[in-house]
Amino acid sequence: MFKHVESITGVVDVKRLVKVVCIAGSAIMLAGCGSDATTGAVEPAQPDVATSEVAALDTPQPDEANSEVDALDPENDDGLNAQVLYHDSYWVTTVEIPNSPEVTVINDMYVDLDTMRVTVYAQTRVLVDRIAAPPQVDPGECTDTPLGDRVCHHPDAVYLNGSGQELETSDGTGEWWVKHSWILGGEGYNNCPIEPQESYDNCFWVEGEVAEDGVSMQIGGVEPGDEDFFNVRGPVLDSRPIEYVLARFEPAQDGSGPVETFTLTWQCEEAVSAFDGSDRTCRDS
């Protein structure tokens, strides 16, 4: 479906995470951040969930449906819409990069059942709490990293300070986050890679829909010829605690159709929402 699959909903291609680390706005010189650092092989931490489970992302059978899920939408007899709420959590994953600190990717994800709107606030961090992406600069501003890379304000970034408002300029009390928001089966959004850049000229329109299992989401572009480029993301409901998996698909070289190229496994964390200051909690079942 789309050409730049790695940028969907705040997820960077793992091979480009080296560059995100190397151009992070800090004075720390990291091993492996030479002129060819972005071409090295980078592998994500191995997920705990088998590939077959990623592809299936099985939802509970009707007789196994969780009572909490049913209660979320009492007017929905089959509970499928309500199961989309399993996406609504503060998801965190880490990627190991040789000779460099771990990269942490955050997707703080919200689902509105009334409108079926999904909103993700994303950040990439190194050294636990040092923000690598998006750049922490206001619209129209740029900064030079210690390695000489010039990075500028991200076009999808919003400033969050816990007030419940998305600010267009910083007030010194919060942080910049990349925002991606879409309506399932409806309005999409103009997606730009989360990777810090000087000029974000590789943005494109994407749309999302509920997958056939009724809980996973498939997100990708809409241009003709891009049908085999997409991400599938969703909860693994038979894991305890519930995990979250994003799988990337691209066309097979032999033309046989889409093939899975990598997966990232995310864990839910309890955190304070950067958006409105509320407590983000995790579902155990």
Residue 19 identity (one-letter amino acid)? K
pLDDT digits (tens, 9 = 90+) for 160-182: 999 999 999 999 999 999 999 99
**Residue of 97, 87, 89 lying closest to 40 (CA atoms):** 97
Beta bridge pairs of residue 178: 122, 157
Look at residue 221 in the predicted model and tell me its pLDDT: 81
Give the span between the Cα atoms of 278 and 25, in whole angstroms: 28
pLDDT tens column, 182-203:
999 999 998 888 889 999 988 8
Residue 9 confidence (pLDDT): 52
Low-confidence ranges of the chain (pLDDT < 70): 1-80, 285
pLDDT at 187: 95
Cis peptide before 134 (omega within 30 of 0): yes
Residue 100: its pLDDT value, please? 76
Annotated domain spans of the chain: 5-130+178-280
Residue 134: predicted pLDDT: 94
Give the helix, strand, coil percentages of the chain, each rounded to 5. 15, 35, 50
Q: Specify the pTM.
A: 0.76
Sign of the four-CA dihedral 225, 228, 229, 232: positive
CA distance 70 to 144: 51
pLDDT of residue 1: 27
Q: What is d(CA 264, CA 47) in angstroms, rounded to the nearest whole number?
A: 6
Cα 233 to Cα 188: distance, rounded to the nearest angstrom: 16
